[in-house]
A and B are shown apart, each in its own frame.
Chain A
Amino acid sequence: MIIDGSEKSLRKFLSELSPVDQVGAEARAAMLATRSIKTSSKAWAIDIAISMVDLTTLEGADTPGKIKTLCAKAVRPDPTDLTVPSVGAICVYNDMVRIARSELDSIGGNSVPVAAVATAFPSGRASLAVKKIDTQDALDAGASEIDMVIDRGAFLSGRLMEVFEEIRIIKELCADKAHLKVILETGELVTYDNVRKASYLAMLAGADFIKTSTGKVAPAATAPVVLVMLEAVRDYFALTGTKIGVKPAGGIRTTKDAIKQLVLVKETAGDQWLTPDLFRIGASALLNDLLMQRMKLRSGHYASANYVTVD
């Protein structure tokens, strides 16, 4: 164990992390954004990106009808081309989990997991008891992935052990029933040093994935933030032998954006992370752009937006 579970050892570990130089991290991310991904590598990237999408709807106006259309899209993103892979998961509020699970199962999407946002998403401003009930409710409804938010207030005021304990307790609830994704909400942590610290804190507390954002706060998954998180999982793997996944979410809308994310993965954490088991993209509009670019690559011309389905 790299920490012994005490507050002292957690603080010591986090305070000894190397700092992040803001200018340097942004320069590295900007350089990687100039990579030119063409032809066969673009085709591969589009398909893997589709399989990494956590197709998401997190609206107050979500209805069973809306969730069902999303499920159909998740299983067969392009009904005219069955070589298109299913998405990585669908991501909903936890009162929609049961509907999503049964719909997916009834249309041949048994292998598509349902992710639920939990722990008083998006703000995380509730008592631990409520957060536990929230999580248990999602698990009972059939969620196999839990996207929890950290308590940013506790983190920013230095109550690191509280943040750690919350993650650890939610992880205990998930046990072997669900993967735990821990949302850092990097737009509220602001500095890259905080992003690095929170990434390690989440990993030490038991996260299976670290996720940038709720999608409700801007900025969300900026390239330098994802870079810093990918460095964290890379170095954590070197330290412990455990691979933690990364999920950028929020603001990734085009194929170009998605490919830039994949380049970041390849040249930071490495090729081993280029799988839906270790990299997901939280998005909604992105999927249709990926489908249109896929069609363009195969046919040589752009189709109108009406050739992809709106769900």
Chain B
Amino acid sequence: MSDFEYASAPESRAIANIASNYGLFIGGKFVQPKKGKSFNTINPATEEVLSKIGYADKSDIDAAVKSARSAYLKVWSKMPAKERGKYLYRIARIMQERAREFAVVETLDNGKPIRESRDTDIPLAAAHFFYHAGWADKLEFAGFGSKPKSLGVVGQVIPWNFPLLMLAWKIAPALAAGNTVVLKPAETTPLTALLFAEVCQQAGLPEGVVNIVTGDGVTGAALVNHPDINKIAFTGSTEVGKSIARAISGSKKTATLELGGKAANIVFDDAAIDEAVEGIVNGIFFNQGHVCCAGSRLILQENVADEVLDKLKKRMSLIRVGDPMDKNTDLGAINSKEQLNKINEISNAGDKEGANRWSPELKLPSKGFWFPPTIFTGVTQSHRIAREEIFGPVLSVLTFRTPAEAIEKANNTMYGLSAGIWSDKGSKVLWAAKQLNAGVIWSNTFNKFDPASPFGGYKESGWGREGGRHGLSGYLTAEAKVNK
């Protein structure tokens, strides 16, 4: 028998200079919140307090929006486009240079494995800045009219699942199009946004072009409701997205909303089974399942269901759960106690409704927030675990008999963000892709992202697209006038 147990291989945290406290980043400087309030951000894998973070209230938001408006009117909207592009290139390069530091801070604050922050989050975030830097001086060729204009000041609210990457998705196109921004990172993961503020300083970005305000949902609502904001860009829950839509109705504000999902991952009997199993694992266990486009509903053709499930269970037994800083960890910590409670609540409902829960045998760390990789078999369309977004490492397995039934089940959801198709037969893949109501459809792969590719959903998964030319359009207007 083998003794080939992987010894611990921790990434060093020495490179991360996390300050004991952070203010708000307004007008190019870190300033203390006016009321002096703060909150802690913790490492969800250990519950250790990482830093004390300034809490922005209404008056701080007002200062940030004023600073963004002033930077927009005096500097950023007047600057030649190619100069804007240079700043974006500079930011992208600094992010690459400081990639390891960003990766370590992201993993400490979020709980995701260092392998993912190192190989996915940070390189993709830098790629978004590079991609949009190229657009800055080519907007008149993007197909939005001969003189597309920026909108003005954009309020941006981002989630905790991919903190820096979501920041990049928001800030890079906004700046490339000539807008200035006030961005609020999630309450539980503010650190890489604050590190990004340092990058803005390092890049010499004009003061007020990027403002970062930290806080909770109340802070976010104050930003959304501020009268001098031209556009809201939000990624998060459908519930909050709906409240934003209500809040801005009747105002001149526009919005891009990137909301929830309950993606179908359809495996046909002619699929490459071993690779499909990898895709299923990647679809739901990547980033602890904290992914809006996660393949959380596995829809299996019944005649291969046993084979796929047998291989899937064996594969799940190999998933390495534990210390996110270990370079060999595959599944890290759940981001917060609140989220863990939510995952538990919906999973328990799955038990009660009669689905069969299975997880590989493993020992979870005693401190921090953890949930094992889990599948539910015997799930029906009417179970809560087949309908509601769990946002955790929990997969619901359903079966189908004919391709038409697969599509019917896949589309039978209030969401429409993403879907996966696994088949070795090209004609079947193209047919299925046409039938699926989802903004992103992957064939024989899952969770692949590229800054050039638009991302967004149908139905309750949101409004608008991010990334690519389509995403850029959300930050521009064809009208030849500057919004005031």
Contact = CB atoms under 8 A, between A and B. Distances in A.
Interface of A: 18-21, 23-25, 27-28, 34-42, 44-45, 48, 231, 262, 266-267, 271-272, 274-275
B361 interface: no
A113 to B, nearest CB: 21
A121 B276 CA distance: 37
Contacts of B272: 18-21, 24
Interface string B305-321: 00000000000001000
17 contacts: A18-B273, A19-B271, A23-B275, A24-B276, A24-B279, A24-B444, A25-B274, A25-B275, A28-B278, A34-B327, A36-B328, A37-B6, A48-B2, A48-B4, A272-B2, A274-B2, A274-B4
A42 B275 CA distance: 29
Interface SS of B by simple majority = loop
Contacts of B198: none
A267 B330 CA distance: 13
Interface centre among B9, B272, B318, B444 (most CB of A within 10 A): B272
B7 interface: yes
A125 to B, nearest CB: 33
Interface residues of B, number: 26
B370 to A, nearest CB: 22
Given A23-B444, A35-B328, A271-B1, A41 B6 contact: yes
B4 A262 contact: yes
Contacts of A20: 272, 274-275
A280 to B, nearest CB: 15
Given A18-B271, A18-B274, A21-B271, 17 more contacts: A18-B272, A19-B271, A20-B272, A21-B276, A21-B424, A23-B444, A24-B279, A28-B278, A34-B119, A35-B327, A36-B9, A38-B9, A39-B7, A41-B4, A42-B7, A231-B274, A262-B4
Contacts of A28: 275, 278
The 9 A-B pairs with the shortest beta carbon distances in the complex, nearest first, are A24-B275, A21-B272, A36-B9, A21-B275, A36-B327, A274-B2, A271-B2, A18-B273, A41-B7
Nearest to B446: A24
Interface string B271-302: 11111101100000000000000000000000
A45 B4 contact: yes
A266 B4 contact: yes
A41 B119 contact: no
Nearest to B444: A21
Contacts of B279: 24
B112 interface: no
Nearest to A231: B274
A220 to B, nearest CB: 22
Contacts of B276: 21, 24
Interface centre among A20, A21, A25, A27 (most CB of B within 10 A): A21
Contacts of A41: 4-7
A41 B273 CA distance: 31
A162 B396 CA distance: 47
A24 B6 contact: no
A306 B119 CA distance: 38
B177 to A, nearest CB: 34
Contacts of B4: 41, 44-45, 48, 262, 266, 271, 274
Given A19-B424, A34-B115, A44-B3, A24 B278 contact: yes
B285 to A, nearest CB: 13
Contacts of A34: 115, 119, 327
Contacts of A266: 2, 4
A251 B338 CA distance: 51
Contacts of B271: 18-19, 21
Interface in B1-51: 1-9
Interface centre among A36, A37, A272 (most CB of B within 10 A): A36
B445 interface: yes
A28 B276 CA distance: 11
B445 A24 contact: yes
A169 to B, nearest CB: 32
Nearest to A262: B4
Contacts of A21: 271-272, 275-276, 424, 444
A40 B444 contact: no
A259 B442 CA distance: 33
Interface string B347-391: 000000000000000000000000000000000000000000000
Nearest to A35: B328
Interface centre among B4, B8, B270 (most CB of A within 10 A): B4
Interface centre among B119, B270, B274 (most CB of A within 10 A): B274
Nearest to B114: A36
A236 to B, nearest CB: 14
Contacts of A275: 2
A88 B106 CA distance: 45
Contacts of B2: 48, 266, 271-272, 274-275
A23 B445 contact: yes
A78 B85 CA distance: 59
A37 to B, nearest CB: 6
A131 to B, nearest CB: 33
A37 B327 CA distance: 9
Contacts of B274: 18, 20, 24-25, 231
B7 A40 contact: yes
Nearest to B422: A21
A42 B4 CA distance: 9
Contacts of A231: 274
A293 to B, nearest CB: 15
B425 to A, nearest CB: 10
A224 to B, nearest CB: 11
Contact of B318 (A38, A39, A262, A267): A267
A73 B18 CA distance: 53
Contacts of B8: 38
Nearest to A45: B4
A109 B466 CA distance: 66
Contacts of B445: 23-24, 27
A162 B45 CA distance: 58
A19 B275 CA distance: 9
Contact of B6 (A19, A35, A272): A35
Interface centre among A24, A44, A262, A274 (most CB of B within 10 A): A24
Nearest to A43: B7
A39 B8 CA distance: 9
A120 to B, nearest CB: 33
Interface centre among A37, A262, A267 (most CB of B within 10 A): A37
A18 B268 CA distance: 12
Nearest to A192: B272
Contacts of A274: 2, 4
Nearest to A273: B2
A38 B7 contact: yes
